[in-house]
Amino acid sequence: MTQPILKLGLPKGSLQDATIDLFRHAGYEIDVPSRSYVPVIDDPEIACLMFRAQEMARYTADGVIDCGITGHDWVRENGVDVHEVSELRYSRSTSRPARWVLAVPNESPVQRPEDLQGGVVATELVGVTRRYFEERGLDVRVEFSWGATEIKARLLDGIVDITETGSSLRANNLRMIDEVLVSTTRFIASHEAWADPARRRKIEALDMLLQGAIAARSKVGLKLNVPRSALDAVMALIGEYGEHSPTVSPLSDEQWVALELILDERVEREIIPALQDAGASGFVSYPLNKVIS
């Protein structure tokens, strides 16, 4: 019996490397041949195509692909009807949401969006930006920017550009006067694919593994040995840090047990010295690929 093929869209551009790395941690190896838009994935039930994130929602809605990864901003910009499977909290450089902000040069007299009445703003997010000004009753001409948008802030009256940390704005002596849209990465599917049981099962399984890979990024596994006489104190200490009950296994020496638990990476540096003071030893810390509840 022929296996169903899920047509999956992967984002080309700034999200490409982060997406392929996420899939690797989820258990999928993806190879992108040079100059090719057809990545190879080690799953015979998935066929990959690569598109710019700006196009992904449109191709998904049209049925060119069954599902894809893109930003919430580009779903809004394209104005198409797709099924949102989930939010994937990862991005090109940080785990922070991307923000589309209205910005002007530091030396500009503009302080509020209303001060741009009758002006010109450049952006790649034209549709969303036009609606932003229309909802405020402002007559602002919005022009499409083909890139290097920060430079155009001094040629026009302002820009709407994307930022995660604000460093690019500061580097170009720009200041934000309002936030237009907050966006995170989304896993989307066509309504046709979502209504098909076979494709939906595959999409849900893929989403589960991707979410598990994202959850694992901030956590580590920890193994340690504990004398039985100190077990109650160690368990109480673990409880103070809000962790789930660890796995407890007997050792060949009946006076000792082994514990294994998963915890936030930020907690690890605090809890290990405290556990050692409580009598634990033999610590082994290791990274995780996936954490699935």
Q: Which H or E run contains 202?
A: helix 197-216
Buried b (16+ CB within 10 A) or exposed e, 2-18: eeeebbbbbbbebbbee
The class of domain 6-90+185-216 in CATH terms is alpha beta
* CATH number among 3.40.718.10, 3.30.70.120, 3.20.20.10, 3.40.50.300, domain 219-287: 3.30.70.120
Domain ranges of the chain: 6-90+185-216, 98-183, 219-287
Beta strands in 53-184 (DSSP E): 67-71, 83-88, 98-105, 120-123, 141-144, 158-163, 174-183
| Greatest pairwise CA separation for the chain in angstroms | 81
What's the Cα-to-Cα distance from 52 to each of 55, 58, 74, 199, 215, rounded to whole Å?
Answer: 5, 11, 10, 23, 26
User: What string of pLDDT tens digits covers the 293 residues of the chain?
Assistant: 456 689 999 999 888 999 999 999 999 999 998 877 899 999 999 999 999 999 999 999 999 999 999 999 999 999 999 999 999 988 655 567 889 999 999 999 999 999 999 999 999 999 999 999 999 999 999 999 887 677 777 778 999 999 877 788 888 899 999 999 999 999 999 999 999 999 999 999 999 999 999 999 989 999 999 999 999 999 999 988 766 689 999 999 999 999 999 999 899 999 999 999 999 999 999 999 999 88
Other Cβ atoms less than 10 A from the Cβ of 173: the count is 12
CATH superfamily of 98-183: Periplasmic binding protein-like II (3.40.190.10)
pTM of the model as a whole: 0.84
Q: Per DSSP, what are the bridge partners of residue 50?
A: 10
